[in-house]
Amino acid sequence: MRQPPPAALLVLSAFTLVSCTVGGSGQQVGEISFLVSLEPLPELAEHTAVDFPDLYQGYITRTDGVILYSGNSGLTWEPLPTPTTAPLYDVAFIDPTLGFAVGGGCPTEEPACPHPGAVILESSDSGESWELRELGEDVGPLHSLVFTSTSQGVAVGEGVVLTTSNTGTRWDVHQRPGEVLEDVWMESTTRGFTVGKAGLVLVTDDGGQTWTNVATEHTGDLFAVAFADGVGYIAGELGLLRSFDDGQTWNLVEGAPSGLRATYFLDLDSGIVGGSGQAGAGATLLLTNDYGDNWLGGLDLDTVQSIRDFSFPNDDLGFAVGNGDQLIKLLRQ
């Protein structure tokens, strides 16, 4: 079993800090300030998701079936053996030892497609080994996964929602024909939201068993959803949607950047978004402290393309991944 490094390692050597101030090589917005560093990843790849269940252990999924592991807060990474080459789109650890990764489908560069349907990987030893679970070709690839407790979880994907009430021992399949779901967020064990292609927003009040469409008058693809104290945010290709009434109504935030793929809010008004830069530039990273009305920072990262996911083991330390060969590490000041 892997052991986390001593606490002193995090303080002394986890960060090579890059100053982030408005108008310079970094970012600062009101009372929010992050120092940003770029840590090397093993190779150039499409990194789809990142999860740090604690300050030290981290996991990154890729579209070639690889899962990367770090035991030293992202300083170094090693590939973990997995039983699939199918794309993996999300990873979630319930605790430092028990975790799941989801994906499936056919890699475009491979003529063979061993796992065309949904793929679920489960590990009970901090990722040292993974057990493959296939649900059949009639269950589409999975894009996002969240656990609301040690036993209850929800996964969404291409035309399907999965739910479990026994820590993944059994997954119940709820078909959603014609819907491509990209992300899921659960506010509690019963209430949650999922978002997807063509402006799709769905809400559940029974733990993912049934879903109701929420009208948004927004037709752009939506990629990420997050809530903080009842205020909801959705990142999409046309910008940011926001809700002040617990997800009953959503409105496009004027002036928010477009091309967003990921979002995380530290509290109800202070958050961070990431996505694709404009005109072929690298990934963009911006901050807000006024519910998304204003965004500052504009840090463009040439070595990372299109930020795909954030993970914050606490509100002072965060990580982001995308297409490229570097990990973005954020330390709150």
Domain ranges of the chain: 7-325
Contacts of 279 (CB under 8 A, 6+ apart): none
Kindly give the confidence (pLDDT) of every residue in the chain, 333 residues in length, as a single tens digit, with 9 standing for 90 and above. 343 333 322 222 233 333 333 333 344 444 667 888 889 999 989 999 999 999 999 999 999 999 999 999 999 999 999 999 999 999 999 999 999 999 999 876 666 787 889 999 999 999 999 999 988 888 999 999 999 999 999 999 999 999 999 999 999 999 999 999 999 999 999 999 999 999 999 999 999 999 999 998 888 999 999 999 889 999 999 999 999 999 999 999 988 888 999 999 988 888 899 998 665 567 888 888 888 888 876 566 666 778 999 999 998 999 999 988 899 999 987
Q: Please classify residue 159 by burial: count the beta carbons closer than 10 Å to its beta carbon, then call 0-12 exposed, 13-18 middle and 19+ buried.
A: middle
Token pair, residue 187, equals: 């506010």
Q: CB-based contacts of 66: which residues, under 8 Å, 6+ apart?
A: 45, 79, 80, 82, 88
**Per-residue pLDDT, 3:** 38
Report the pLDDT value the prediction gives residue 116, as an integer from 0 to 100: 85
pLDDT attached to residue 63: 94
Alpha helices in 5-89 (DSSP H): 7-13
Which superfamily, per CATH, for 7-325?
Answer: YVTN repeat-like/Quinoprotein amine dehydrogenase (2.130.10.10)
Q: What is the pLDDT, as a whole number, of residue 277?
A: 66
